[in-house]
Amino acid sequence: MSLSTIETTVVPSAPERRTVPAVAFWTIFVLGAVAGGYYVEQALATPAMFTHLMDLSVYQIAGHRVADGVSIYDTPLLGHTRGVWEFVYTPFAALLFVPLIDLHGEPYTWVGMLGNFAMLTASAWAALSMLGYRRDRRLVLLGLPIAGLLLWCEPVRETMAFGQINIFLLLLVLADMALPDSSRWKGVLTGIAAGIKLTPAFFVIYLLVTRRYRAAATATGAFAATVLIGLAAMPKDSLTFWSGAFADPTRVGVPENPSNESLRGMLARTVGVAGNHQLLWLAGAFAIAAICLCLARRLSLTGHELPAVVLCGLTTTAVSPYSWVHHWVWLAPLLIYLADLAFRRRGIAAPLGLLLALAVASGGVFALLGSAFSSTINYPSDKTFGLLIHNAYIWLTLALFTTAAIQSRRLRTQAVEPSRMR
């Protein structure tokens, strides 16, 4: 039997949307209120740790440079050291930062924090919608306590503290993928996300391999529009960026930096940066991307859209030349998916998977054990188990690949058996 026949067999009809049970709603509501309240208490007590908004301040400097007609790529935005505080986003992204130049004092802090929290809430709503829950008032309200719980996911917490753009990009892609395939607007938000930071362009390939050609074309068109807008408003900087600055990882920093939580960072810290390091990283990144697309295609074709999209999001971060901890915000919808799975399925496999992901995404359990290492990335990579612990995000992603492959094989077997009986 051909692959196309199997795919046709296993694609389910659109199920009726579920309603969040009352017990689950109130449990999440209480837990989210406690978690969110504790986060606010900590943020007010130690603003230098929770609300310093350093990256948002750098975005503000980029907005000032655009308004003043000064290049954003020729020199670092702060200081004079290459690879430190250099602008690494597109000219279109810099245009989006111009409105920040009028924000100062407390309004600046509140906009930075509440803006990210609102987008985190909307991202949770989009993820739940992709899981098949009814888009009613209860689901809208549930997004708030879920966001409160996700504040303790380390990449989310770091994004909030730095005032980073990652949650915004997460929301754009999730909201786009939550649209029905029949929507003529599907692909627009993904194209805009790629026009701000290039890594979401991977989702255009995902749309292609899942045969959503119109959405892929729409995303490509939206991306092209952002390039043209940037070119029209900032021709010199656009030429600098697209002629090579976008492909220069040294603008971010050295690959062996302990904070580089990507495959390249892991390899650089393990085998060094000399010799065939670059070739090894490219081969590994290509292999991971290819495997991800195969698995995500199978998940999508069998009606598991959210895990397919999450797998792609984690892959973009894993294969990127440089990934800070706050780039791993795709762990947030992963936790939502695993929590839903643990709630609906019997057995211990799903709850154990959720606990493992929670241990990694929260930064580890070291602080709870009285250790000086409050995060997995603080664990020395040259110590015992350092290769495993320090690179926990990479290993978690590869573990998800294995799980997805096993599930894909099970679904294929279930599809073949009824076909043989006919």
Whether the per-residue pLDDT at 275 is higher than 90: the answer is: no
| Residue written as token pair 């154990």 | 352
**Domain final residue, candidates 196, 211, 246:** 246
Whether 391 is covered by a domain: the verdict is yes
User: Mind listing the pLDDT tens digit for each residue in 277-317?
Assistant: 889 999 999 999 999 999 999 999 999 999 999 999 999 99
Range in 132-141, 191-200, 272-281, 368-377 the model is least confident about: 368-377
- Shared domain check, 293 and 229: no
Confidence grade of residue 419 (pLDDT, cut at 50, 70, 90): very low
- pTM value? 0.92
Whether 421 is covered by a domain: the verdict is no
What pLDDT, on the 0 to 100 scale, is given for residue 1? 38
**Domain final residue, candidates 205, 220, 246:** 246
Tell me the mean pLDDT in the region 374-379: 74
Helix (H, G, I), strand (E, B) or coil at 18: strand
- Shared domain check, 111 and 198: yes
- Shared domain check, 306 and 200: no
Alpha helices in 322-391 (DSSP H): 331-344, 349-361, 386-390
Domain of residue 63: give its range. 18-246
Whether the per-residue pLDDT at 387 is higher than 90: the answer is: no
Range in 21-25, 125-129, 364-368 the model is least confident about: 364-368
Nearest 5°: the CA angle 185, 190, 191 is: 90
- Shared domain check, 262 and 232: no
Tell me the mean pLDDT in the region 351-375: 75
Q: In Å, what is the CA distance from 96 to each residue of 101, 124, 166, 419?
A: 11, 24, 14, 53
Helix (H, G, I), strand (E, B) or coil at 133: strand
- Shared domain check, 234 and 263: no
Whether 350 is covered by a domain: the verdict is yes
- Shared domain check, 174 and 85: yes
Whether 13 is covered by a domain: the verdict is no
- Shared domain check, 379 and 261: yes
- Shared domain check, 241 and 266: no
Whether 422 is covered by a domain: the verdict is no
What pLDDT, on the 0 to 100 scale, is given for residue 274? 77
User: Phi and psi dihedrals of 37, rounded to 5?
Assistant: -65, -40
Whether 377 is covered by a domain: the verdict is yes
* Average pLDDT across the chain, whole number: 89
Q: How far apart are CA 217 and CA 226, in angstroms?
A: 14
User: Mind listing the pLDDT tens digit for each residue in 45-78?
Assistant: 988 889 999 999 999 999 999 999 999 999 999 8
Q: How many domains does the chain have?
A: 2
Burial (Cβ within 10 Å: 0-12, 13-18, ≥19) of residue 399? middle
Of 284 and 372, more confident:
284
- Shared domain check, 273 and 235: no
Whether 129 is covered by a domain: the verdict is yes
- Shared domain check, 262 and 230: no
**Domain final residue, candidates 203, 230, 246:** 246
What pLDDT, on the 0 to 100 scale, is given for residue 21? 87
Nearest 5°: the CA angle 206, 196, 147 is: 80
In the structure, how many helices (H) and strands (E) does the chain have?
20, 0
- Shared domain check, 316 and 170: no
Confidence grade of residue 392 (pLDDT, cut at 50, 70, 90): very high
Burial (Cβ within 10 Å: 0-12, 13-18, ≥19) of residue 98? middle
- Shared domain check, 217 and 73: yes
Whether 417 is covered by a domain: the verdict is no
